[in-house]
Every structure is written in C-alpha cells, then in structure tokens.
Structure 1
C-alpha cells in the first residue's frame, strides 16, 4: 500500500468581514480590545509597583546584612589565607557550611579614545593590532540593483506590502 503525501493546509480564517459596515464595526471592536489591553497592562504594572514597594525595605535590609557578612568573611579569610589554602597550594577552602575561593580573572583590555589608539598603532607599524572589517554595502546595492542582480547570493526584495489596522484614538491633553 502506498503512503499518501500529507498536504500542508493553511489555517482557516475564523472571522472574515463581509461588508464595509462590518469592517468599520470590526475596527471599532479592535480599538476597544486594544484599549482594554492597555488598561489591564497598566493595572498589572500598578499592582507590581505596589508589591515591589512593600518588599523593597526588607530586601534592602537583607542586602546590607549580606554585604556586611561578605566583607567580614573576606577580611577573616584574607587574614588566614595561608592556613586556608595550604600556603597557596590550593585556591578553595571548604568551611563545612560552604567554601571560599580565590580565582584570577582572565586578562582584559580597556581602550580609551579609540581613534587616537588606532592612529598610534598605525604610526608605530603595529597593524596586526588593528582589525579591518569588510562587509557588503547594502545601501549601495539598493541604489544600483541592476548591476548586481546576476550575482548569486544577492536578492533584492521590493514591492513588499504590509497591512496595518490603526483604530482612531482620542488623545486627552
């Protein structure tokens, strides 16, 4: 028995207006729904603000206590580092309820006044430290699409049309 190919069908549209009057009414309904969404989002954000405010003082107090404890632990650990790390042979110390670690960050490079640094590197002949980035100039292609139309990998999209529905809103000043 041959297996039939499955056809991919577009989802059926649930609602299609049938007249100009229905389109007008549907746009009004769409505007009503969008305004209700905004009202609900605003109410939700108001409630989030109330909840955040009610917890903020406790959170700040706990953050301050946490910072104080961390500093106190770090000061003691630094003072006793040789004992904790077996004279620097290990970088982690287990203290039963947790561990402390000393880790070296990887090197990083910070550049200030980028243009001056690039110019100085070029003057000193250190071109290997200056990156040149090549990229396609899409604006130039769009200005002269006929010249590059035959090149594989370049597609010019044009005449793409978007549909938008914008219900009228009255702005209160």
Structure 2
C-alpha cells in the first residue's frame, strides 16, 4: 500500500477506513481535553485577575487619599512653600510636590463629530467670503490664513478597502503593486462529537 509523503519519520498513517475513523475520534477527544484544560486555565487566570484587581483598587484608593490630603496641606501653605509664588516645585525631605499648568483639551460640547466638521467648514466658507469682500489686503490675508488654519483642523483619511478589493478581485489586480493571492487548498479534519466519547 502506498504511504503518504511526509517529513515526519514516525507519522502514524491509517491503513484502512476503520483506523482513520478511530484516529479522527482520538483527534476529537484530544481537542475536547485541550478545551477543558484551557477552560480550567482561564478560570484560574480570571480568579487571579479579580484578586489582583481588588488589590490594585485598594492601593489606588489609599494613594488618592494621601494625594488629596497632601494637596489640601500644600494649598494652605502654598505661599510659604513657593516663596510667594516664585516656584511651582517644592523639594521636601521625602519627595517633591509641584504644581503644573493644566493641559489643553478640545471638547465638542455634546456635538457629534460630523456637526463639528460642518461647523468648521461653514466657518472656513465665512472667512473666505469675508476675505473676498475685504478691501484691505492685510485684513484679507489674515482672514484667508485663518481659513487655511481651520482647514488644517480637518482630517482627510483615505485608505484602501481590502474587503472591496477582494469583492472586485479582477479589477483590483490591475492596480500596479496590488496582488490578489489565494492561499493553497487546505486539509481539515472535523471530528463528530458523538464519536469522541467512544475513544475516551
């Protein structure tokens, strides 16, 4: 009987239908055992993560309380600590306290992104109209510069859609540099659940 070509020297190859069926059932049993082992592993990890999460929350709450308490003390003593506002950083024996300016943030005040985009576009159109009607060149240039700055606040993202390219493979493949590959034929074995119990 001809044997399948393979790189493995100790590969077990079924010699008849009955052996093939038995090996498929063994494969199913092995997959089931792997799934059960993975489920037990996941349960242990979930328990560890939950315990870890509780501990981290306790640490964070303790740290927040300490920072808030220090902040109240530092605010009450800021004038003395900062030498009348000359510094925003104060070195103490056990560490440093400091004040930093807040970061800027863009907020839409409940507007959807498309509403903000429309508002920016309308403002750009308004600035360009004002610039066109303005008789003073310097003012018109300033208005156009503002319009260009606002145009830079709009993101223009264009990306190729792989789904659309796959749907139109013949046309997409005509684009230089685009190759539509197909993976080679695969071989799969799907054990029937009813047969797995016979091997276990």
Note the alpha carbon deviations across 1:66-122, whole angstroms, 9 max, x for none: 332221111112222233334444333222222223233432223331111111211
Higher RCO, 1 vs 2 (CA within 8 Å, ≥6 residues apart): 2
State the aligned residue count: 160
Report the TM-score, using the length of structure 2 for normalisation.
Answer: 0.59
Structure 1 runs not aligned, ≥5 long: 1-10
Cα contact 1:92–1:101 (8 A) shared by 2: yes
Instruction: Provide the residue aligned with 2:99 in structure 1.
Output: 102
Q: State the TM-score, normalizing by the size of structure 1.
A: 0.66
Q: Against the structure 1 CA distance between its residues 53 and 143, is the aligned structure 2 distance closer, same or farther, given a 3 Å change threshold?
A: closer
Q: How far did 1:154 drift?
A: 0.4
Deviations 1:22-77 (A, max 9, x none): 44333323322332233333333444555567777766655443332221111112
- The structural deviation recorded for 1:129 is 2.4
In terms of Rg, which structure is larger? 2
CA distance in structure 2 between the partners assigned to 1:169 and 1:144 by the alignment: 39
5+ residue gaps, structure 2? 1-5, 125-149, 195-200
* Residue 155 of structure 1, aligned match among 159, 179, 183: 179
Report the CA distance shift for 1:51/1:128 in structure 2 as closer, same or farther (over 3 A). closer
